[in-house]
Amino acid sequence: MTSRAIVALGETLEYFDNAGTDQTPRGLVCLLRSLYERLNRQSKFLAWPQAGYNFTIRSLVVYLKELFRYLGADAEVSAVFSAYSGPQDLVSFPRVERDNVAMFSIFGHELGHPIADAFLQMEATSAAHQARGLRARQDIIQALGGSPTMPELQAAIQAVFQLRRRALEELISDTVGVYLFGPSALFAGYQILMWNTLDVIPSRQNEGYPPGRMRIRVSLEVARAEGHIDALRNLTTDQVVGPTFSNAGVLLDHLEQLASDNSDELTINTSPIARIAYDWISTTLPSAQQFARTELATARYEDSTLKLEVPRLVERLKHGLPPNEIGDSLSPVAVDERSAVLAGWLVSLEASQAGTNPDQAINELSRLNEKALKGLEYVVLQRRYRSGTRTSPS
């Protein structure tokens, strides 16, 4: 056990080493710190790049506690961690995306997982949940022919409950991502899901993930309910940056077309186990989303903020300026850092559809990300400066 602990700690030191290099942009750290503060979470974390393509936030403390669980008396281990004041979370991101500001909104989804866990924990004690669970068991018995063996029944019940929980974890987290980042989360989620099979049947083989088409549909519905879709479409008439928003409208048309196709639901219905799980999910998701919305409170990204800030930030980016403020130079107005992320998305969408040669497009996107990263850093530093709080390196 001691040898395994040493090996695991060696891997942990690698995280710290990677986090201490230039591979982690300061703009990303500033954005994450701001999100943590908005959510009233412990703001100490360790951000580091990884070779695999995955965005994750996991508890470093829980990992270390498990590591030391059998290496001493419980009281001694508890005493060590009661005095621990270091980073609480490990935040990892794909190394290839370290400068891609548009994809930073994926962290809204990752920050949604604790909220999803809180909802599922609260729900488990409710009478309505218990009653719905009994109904699901009855549906399972009927699907298995009415008189299954006990092992068959137990395996089917476990599969239904696991599929339901896994799907709710992801769909609630997708919802939180849109609440926190608005359209940026919708666009980033699609960029990841577009490479996967959109209508796969959820199963243990694919780790129980809900179909990509369903996730796009849920995110789109949340963005529409929050007023973000109408805001984007209405800004196509802006005299200065209307064409940029028109390019976003093309993507929105495509996403709405994908969401209107119910082939994911038809595919799920071919599996009795998945169908029972997702029938239950459809009755639970609205209350789960309302729970998440209430939990986030003022941390949500408002459509009014989008309409006020994003057009002028797009204008700044297109003039080669960081998207960190609006107004004139004599009386600049601070902005929400998530507006800077969305402005980066909109300008990059326009650049990708401009028909320029690949080398020129890559150079333009590189310059765009450089300005957007500076914008994220400036937004947070300006806010701290104005509020009189002290900034410290992270």
Please check whether residue 178 is in contact with residue 222, taking contact to mean a CB–CB distance below 8 angstroms: yes
Give the per-residue pLDDT at 355: 62
326: nearest Cα among 311, 338, 341: 311
Distance CA 260, CA 182 (A): 20
Give the per-residue pLDDT at 233: 96
Give the per-residue pLDDT at 394: 44
Please check whether residue 140 is in contact with residue 204, taking contact to mean a CB–CB distance below 8 angstroms: no
Give the per-residue pLDDT at 103: 93
Helix (H) or strand (E) segment spanning residue 94: strand 89-94
Query: Sign (positive/negative) of CA torsion 237, 243, 244, 245?
Result: positive
For the chain of 394 residues, list the mean pLDDT of each consecutive stretch of 10. Answer: 74 70 82 92 85 89 78 78 85 90 94 96 94 94 91 94 97 98 97 88 90 97 98 94 93 96 95 96 96 96 97 93 88 92 93 68 79 88 71 46
Give the per-residue pLDDT at 393: 44
Distance CA 8, CA 328 (A): 53
> Looking at residue 88, what DSSP letter applies?
-
Q: Is 206 helix (H, G, I), strand (E, B) or coil?
A: helix
The C-alpha angle with vertex 97 and arms to 50 and 326, in degrees rounded to 5, equals: 135
- Residue 248 contacts by C-beta under 8 Å, 6 or more apart in sequence? 183, 232, 345, 346, 349
Give the per-residue pLDDT at 356: 61
Query: Sign (positive/negative) of CA torsion 152, 153, 158, 159?
Result: positive
Give the per-residue pLDDT at 297: 92
Q: Which two tokens stand for residue 315?
A: 């204008």
Distance CA 55, CA 331 (A): 38
